[in-house]
Copies of this chain bind each other. A is one copy, B any other.
Amino acid sequence: MMDRLLVIHFDPEMPCQSCDYSYFNNNSGEIHEDRRKKIAIVGGGNWGCAIACIVGRTVKAQDHMFQPIVSMWCRDSRKSGDTSPSIADVINCTHENPKYLPGRRIPDNVIATSSLLNACESADILILVVPHQGISKICSELKGKLRKDAYAVSLTKGISSIFENNVIKMQLISDGIEESLGIECSVLMGANLAGEVADGKFCEATIGCKSLVNGEELKNLFATPNFRIRVTADFEAVELCGALKNIVACAAGFADGLGWAYNVKSAIIRLGLLETKKFVEYFYPSSIGHTYFESCGVADLITTCYGGRNRRVAEAFIKSDKQLHEVEHALLKGQSAQGPPTARDVFEMLKNHKLAENFPIFTSVHKVFSGEHGAKELYDSLRNHPEYE
């Protein structure tokens, strides 16, 4: 692990050479411990780069709290023998991710690296923003190699299942991270399409925190006058809203692809929100109701059902005779939509608890992707929703 003591040889009249900020030299010429929090972003995709645009600015604006250099780990996806530069090198040279967030400048103080360990080992706060599928590999690589007092915030959407005493059980991604890395892990979710966030347009987010102290610190880290944050301790609901919205967005995409109307789509969003609420209340009965009025609830659901990639993929899927992976390949430049695997995981969980019939939208979305349901069954799942009984 890197040493936290910075040895600074400086001219008292000059700013600190290590970080461009002089205040912590204290004008004495002595060695000081830098108590400011160091931030690492784990993931350099579309959302990772958007959040880098935010955090790159907020740490500079709050250099009394945060170290102004932010590390960002970007997966090196080059195949053996590929001599093109890594995505980390491209970002460090051009300050842009031309593949996933073209045209948006990533601040100069965000330094990309292909080495996960270099990015994270001295970090105080890890922002995990990788697809669900990549989380467990990252956790095993980082296990035992982080600062003991570090903590994480997960922006990853999805749910995990684990086997415990031969029974399949649901696990929140944030709980899995905590278990694997031995550090606290909060979540950040909300109505924030990446491009708009990167452009600095007004939007909102919700932090679901495990401890309020860290929740408030994360609020300071992310909040800008245009990126408005609210913090709640109801982290299970926040995280599950973020995961389950992608299933609902697939139903909305099917509705669009089938030419259904505004009323139907609004009913899908409403019934989807109620299924989300029921799901959270079943698996986490201590959750409070107000979270669905937060950005991670109704707002994110609307954004995702109108402007998100899951909607787009589902619309294209139901209109074509292509396989899902072909549709994803055509639309998402190598990234994947989180809705279909989340629908599958949720369906398995519900089936296991004999609850599938109580969640007709979640269930039908999975069955449309798996070929068991067509338009009629999806429509009937709405018309005959238990909400109307």
Contacts and interface: CB of A to CB of B under 8 A. Distances in A.
Nearest to A302: B266
A385 to B, nearest CB: 8
A261 B193 contact: yes
Interface stretch (A55-63, A72-80, A223-231, A358-366): A223-231
A274 interface: yes
Interface stretch (A14-22, A34-42, A179-187, A292-300): A292-300
Given A225-B383, A228-B383, A383-B226, A299 B202 contact: no
Nearest to A277: B293
A303 interface: yes
Contacts of A274: 293
Interface string A282-304: 00000001001111011110110
A163 interface: no
A217 interface: no
A230 B387 contact: yes
B263 A203 contact: yes
Given A270-B298, A387-B230, A201 B293 contact: no
A24 interface: no
Interface residues of A, number: 46
A367 to B, nearest CB: 19
A22 B19 CA distance: 91
Nearest to A268: B299
Contacts of A260: 201-202
Nearest to A228: B388
Could you say which of A264, A289, A294 has the most chain B C-beta atoms within 10 Å of its C-beta? A264
A346 interface: no
A300 B293 CA distance: 15
A296 to B, nearest CB: 10
Interface in A227-286: 228-230, 260-267, 269-270, 273-274, 277
Interface of A: 191-193, 196-197, 201-204, 225-226, 228-230, 260-267, 269-270, 273-274, 277, 289, 292-295, 297-300, 302-303, 306-307, 379, 382-383, 385, 387-388
